[in-house]
Structure 1
């Protein structure tokens, strides 16, 4: 013990933890959206009101079945039918070639791997849609994990479950060794709820800087391409 009653060996290390795992959103963060989500929602709910479309925009990043439950007033049968139509419409858009990485995203993935960090991609889409996107982009060998709400009993963002599951599967030393990046407020809240030490918003998707900051973003980047440099600078 020292004079203040603190165990000398228990003093906290002032250096930030090295980031071992980076958890990244897909549409709007690493994958170009270009209105594809809204087009797929339009196919699922062709009579959607302006208020409903505003809700879709506000809840970008959340589990799609959760969004449809709200839009259908909790009618499970209608929600699941609409979600199936949404996923089918989005899959068609991907199959037609309307799927591309955001500028600098693929290079960022490669740089993160070169830095020795694990990479997990998370989404609010269903498994089949996520797999189609990864196959279309040729990213299966670039990432270590790809998780969707069905992998965590349906608890998508802003719940922390996908991030915590990625951390457990990656066997990180602590949640302080995890960084999260995304383009929506639900990404930011999920990162904070999980206890990640780096929660970064990107301005390439659904929500603006003020929204991302309000939801807990510690950093706001022009794009995910800036993330490898941010992490490297943070670790000196």
Structure 2
């Protein structure tokens, strides 16, 4: 659906600030996080196929959506090793992005454009560093798609599952005067926790990424959708 094709526009929308995750939610990255992690872990001597690698990869999968530097701090202990791993990860992910390995989730751009045509403010957030976020936006031609993009460093550095990026969007845009008028959508349990902790009125999980319906629901999803393409209709129903 094009942004001009909404058959029932709401002249007075109330759910006016939409904070969307990127990888797995609006951006299909096809397992690139795991590939970039393996490359980064290898630089610190973690051998692919080893028990150590498998254990660390399980943790990466469980914490999808979290700030990547926080993940590496947990995995590698001291700050120097964590920073080295993070730099290697971002470089590896950047190479994959440059190689054309990212694409929009089907219907994601159309959903964003429809939401904005309805007078809502859309913010894209990520657990990646700014350089990686910008590389993804450039690869997709999304540099000017939304009013604001946020990475953990833009909101104090903690990232998800803390509510900081969602609340930064609330403060910076001024799009709503009550956090209950926020909508948060993502594909991981940490996205759900971040939304719940921010007080968002809708915390929507999507099934195009890392975690399944049970994980999303257990961590606070108010709704679970097949993909972000269904979000505009969900919001319209909530306002009706």
TM-score, normalised with respect to structure 1: 0.91
State the 1:233 CA deviation.
1.2
> Which of residues 140, 154, 159 is equivalent to 2:157?
154
The aligned residue for residue 210 of structure 2 is: 206
Rg larger in 1 or in 2? 1
- How far, CA to CA, are the matches of 2:208 and 2:27 in structure 1? 10
The aligned residue for residue 6 of structure 1 is: none
CA contact (8 A) 2:30 2:102 kept: no
- Does structure 1 residue 31 correspond to structure 2 residue 40? no
- How far, CA to CA, are the matches of 1:186 and 1:51 in structure 2? 19
> Which of residues 2, 16, 30 is equivalent to 1:20?
16
The aligned residue for residue 5 of structure 2 is: none
Runs of 4+ in structure 1 deviating by more than 2 angstroms, as ranges, are none
- Does structure 1 residue 234 correspond to structure 2 residue 238? yes
Q: Secondary structure at the match of 2:105?
A: coil
CA contact (8 A) 2:25 2:227 kept: yes
- How far, CA to CA, are the matches of 1:131 and 1:112 in structure 2? 22
The aligned residue for residue 3 of structure 1 is: none
Q: Deviations over 1:77-122 (max 9, x none)?
A: 0000000000000011111111110111111111111111101011
The aligned residue for residue 196 of structure 2 is: 192
The aligned residue for residue 128 of structure 2 is: 125
The aligned residue for residue 63 of structure 2 is: 59
Alignment length (residue pairs): 219
- How far, CA to CA, are the matches of 2:99 and 2:212 in structure 1? 29
The aligned residue for residue 97 of structure 1 is: 100
Q: Deviations over 1:112-163 (max 9, x none)?
A: 1111110101100000000111111111222111000111221100100100
State the 1:18 CA deviation.
1.3
- How far, CA to CA, are the matches of 2:150 and 2:231 in structure 1? 20
TM-score, normalised with respect to structure 2: 0.89
> Which of residues 77, 82, 85 is equivalent to 1:82?
85
Moved more, 147-156 or 21-30: 147-156
> Which of residues 63, 70, 76 is equivalent to 2:74?
70
